[in-house]
Structure 1
Amino acid sequence: MRRSIPSIQGLICFESAAKHLSYTYAAQELCITQSAVSRQIQQLEDFLGVELFIRTRHGVELTIAGQQYFKSI
């Protein structure tokens, strides 16, 4: 059964990663591993059907869809 709303953990991870533009800093802020942040955001992206971040060598950047979603939460 498909969920009708995203998980709260995914939203929390997304908000923190978007604020810091870093999965590592988001993980530190939330006291979880970087891989847990990455997994939660991947699940959120799968749920929404859009890519929220562009991964770079120096962290992450929000896509246009990510910027719009960040403003809406």
Structure 2
Amino acid sequence: MKPDPQVLIDAVKMTMPFGKYKGTLICDLPVYYLEWLHGKGFPAGKLGMILATVFEIKTNGVGMILDRVKRALKDGSLK
């Protein structure tokens, strides 16, 4: 199975659709909130996959990946 780069793009574009952080970009969610969601169980489908991906990225100390994707989208080098 090949990683889908669209997941990272969606993580920096998509906002949280519910809860305390409704309207916040998923990539900007605090780690403690992602840990709490992980404990409750991420929702099914695309949203859950994106949340789980951001959780893994942030808890493994490689959050700069999300920052790089966000910058690339902003400067137009990634669509």
Q: TM-score, normalised by structure 2?
A: 0.33
Q: Relative to total residues, which structure has the larger strand share, 1 or 2?
A: 1
The structure number with the bigger radius of gyration is 2
